[in-house]
Amino acid sequence: MSSTIALGTYAPGADSLKKTIDLAGGFARLKPSDRVMIKPNLVAWDDQYPIAPFGVYTTTRLVEDLIVCLKEFGCSKIAIGEGSVVIKKGVGTMAAYEGLGYTALAKKYGVELVDLNDSDAEVFEYQDGMELHIAKDAVEQDFFINFPVLKTHGQTKVSLGLKNLKGCLKLKSKRHCHNPDSHLEFAFSHIADFVKPALTLVDGIYALEKGALHFGNAYRKDIIVASTDILAADLAAAQTIGYSGDTINHFKHYASRHGQSVSLSDYTLVGEPMENHVKPLKWDWSWTPDNTGPGIFAKLGITGTALPKYDETLCSGCSPIANMSNILVLSAFKGQPLPSVEILNGKKMEPRSGYEKTVLLGNCMIKANKDHGNIREAVQVKGCPPSEDDVVKALKSVGLDVNILAYYGYMKQQSEKYDGKDGYDKGLFTA
């Protein structure tokens, strides 16, 4: 018998969510005595330039609606669990909870807030001795509800239920997923084998194109996807933004192990007609044909300095630094060729020959290329991730007249880009 997927239209109040869950049989295996954990997507928090929440974070109002549904069902042991990326020291999961109204939800409904980064780990072997260290607080729940956002992603095309579980990993395993020999999509596709969500809900009030963090563009969709089958939920959600299952590698990895199909036609879709809710979104950023920088480099005629395109080994901690480097190099361009410099990030990039200097961003890049024969002069920017100040100093040291104010201005613009626009309601992210 095929798994059921419910597609619903969001409306204020808990009724639309409850209807979608009921259509999917979402609470069929739930008991009032169960320990329930809700795992939203609160990917990271920035206290200096707040990330515009639309399509980035699971909508606080929808999480509140879910809590209401669980309370009405009779559940009293409810926790919210997340392990946000710490992109700035001391600013992590608890800051995200506070900034997005989850602290108020906890007080209002008596639910527990759990930082999965602080949880004890349970170790699981998944392939040829490779291991995933997963937060015990996630593994040991009776009824785990996975609650991702509807978004695309520059490394994995989509970021839905399977990828949302990456927040259950301990830091060691988050980094492990980005190792060249682990293969990002293969590695994180195994988390669901051990956490085993009982219900996956995809928050499609907003959908994010070319995410994540501060970047990308969000669109209002007002849809909810629900299924007790995590792959089924992901397949339907992906279809609403234009992606079939056979184009997503982590879908195929999971399906192969579990004997499932990646064709949506092999599942039972109930509720709203799918064809009424499909809007294709782009997942990738354009780069120059010679892989020397973002597409805008070609438009502006920027030459000399090269920033090869990020790959799957660039982890969430270093991704803001990579983006910052792009903006800083743009700020240094004054219409003339820039210095002969190549700037590398991630864990597996190799320097190309012909550059006078090579900037290695982060400990992983330094380790991978410290003795590479193509490097004439290496500039090592240590850290995991490196600090903004150290990156700026390194770029200035190789002759790039970068302006950090240009980066700050860009980040401010990204934080405020939806302000005053119809349909972008920050009240959905408060309790």
The 10s digit of each residue's pLDDT in 239-289 is: 999 999 999 999 999 999 999 999 999 999 999 999 999 999 999 999 999
CA distance linking residue 162 with residue 270, whole number of Å: 21
**Does one domain contain both 175 and 310?**
no
Q: Does residue 248 lie in a domain region? A: yes
What is the enclosing helix (H) or strand (E) of 234?
A: helix 230-240
Give the pLDDT confidence score for residue 431 in this predicted structure: 86
Give the pLDDT confidence score for residue 316 in this predicted structure: 85
For residue 212, cis peptide bond before it (omega within 30 degrees of 0): yes
Task: Report pLDDT digits (tens) over 54-63.
Answer: 999 999 999 9
Range of the domain at 321: 295-400
For 81, residues 6+ apart whose C-beta sits below 8 A from its C-beta are 37, 38, 39, 114, 115, 116, 119, 135, 137, 138, 168
Q: Does residue 187 lie in a domain region? A: yes
pLDDT category at 213 given cuts 50, 70, 90 is confident
CA distance linking residue 4 with residue 235, whole number of Å: 12
Percent of the chain with pLDDT strictly greater than 70: 100
**Does one domain contain both 299 and 334?**
yes
Give the pLDDT confidence score for residue 1 in this predicted structure: 63
CA distance linking residue 417 with residue 414, whole number of Å: 5
Q: Does residue 288 lie in a domain region? A: no
Q: Does residue 249 lie in a domain region? A: yes
**Does one domain contain both 203 and 332?**
no
**Does one domain contain both 140 and 274?**
yes
**Does one domain contain both 260 and 346?**
no
**Does one domain contain both 278 and 377?**
no
**Strand residue runs (E) in 216-290:** 217-227, 268-271
- DSSP, collapsed to helix, strand or coil, labels residue 61 as helix
Q: Does residue 412 lie in a domain region? A: no
Check whether 175 has a pLDDT greater than 70: yes
Q: Tally the domains of the chain.
A: 2
Q: What is the mean pLDDT of the chain?
A: 96
Q: Does residue 321 lie in a domain region? A: yes
CA distance linking residue 197 with residue 50, whole number of Å: 30
User: From the CA atom positions of the chain, what is the Rg in Å?
Assistant: 22
**Does one domain contain both 241 and 301?**
no
Q: Does residue 53 lie in a domain region? A: yes
**Does one domain contain both 108 and 78?**
yes
**Does one domain contain both 192 and 73?**
yes
Task: Report pLDDT digits (tens) over 297-311.
Answer: 999 999 999 999 999
Q: Does residue 108 lie in a domain region? A: yes
Task: Assign residue 209 the CATH number of its domain.
Answer: 3.40.50.11440
**Does one domain contain both 224 and 357?**
no
Give the domain-ending residue among 256, 283, 310. 283
CA distance linking residue 400 with residue 290, whole number of Å: 21
Helix ranges, 333-424 (H): 363-369, 388-397, 404-416
**Does one domain contain both 256 and 307?**
no
What are the DSSP calls for 155-195, one per residue?
Answer: TTEEESHHHHGGGGB-HHHHHHHTSTTT-HHHHHTTHHHHH
**Does one domain contain both 170 and 301?**
no
pTM assigned to the model: 0.96
